[in-house]
Amino acid sequence: MKQLLLVFIGGGLGSIARFVLAKYFNSEATGMPYGTFLANVLGSLFIGLILGFAAKSDALTENQTLLLATGFCGGFTTFSTFAYENHVFLKEGDFLSFFLYAIGSFVLGFTAVFLGMFLVK
């Protein structure tokens, strides 16, 4: 039960942080979801740092890892919003934005995870 509560708290905090980024960085003028993009890339970096640090040392307990990686990063990043935003680009025929957002998110997301894990080694 304690672990569920930790994931719940971390997820709530991550969701709030993502909401704030989307509120201030998503562009209504251009339709580009910069906030979602930023949340996904930063979340990838955070999970790389957290899980890399947890694997490297015993400094993080299982509960702390659940709070930070599963909870916070899980709530902070969002695949469903990413998928929806790409759907909108395709529906509007904005193939350039779709390509830049989709490929950029994958490339920078993976790079951020590897960078995070590299930085804690």
Quote the domain boundaries for residue 45: 2-119
Q: Place 58 in a pLDDT band, splitting at 50, 70 and 90.
A: confident
Q: What is the DSSP string of 3-55?
A: HHHHHHHHHHHHHHHHHHHHHHHS-TTT---HHHHHHHHHHHHHHHHHHHHHH
**Confidence band, pLDDT 50/70/90 cuts, at residue 33:** very high
| Distance (Å, whole) CA 2 – CA 52 | 24
How many domains would you assign to the chain? 1
Distance CA 49, CA 80 (A): 23
pTM for the model:
0.92
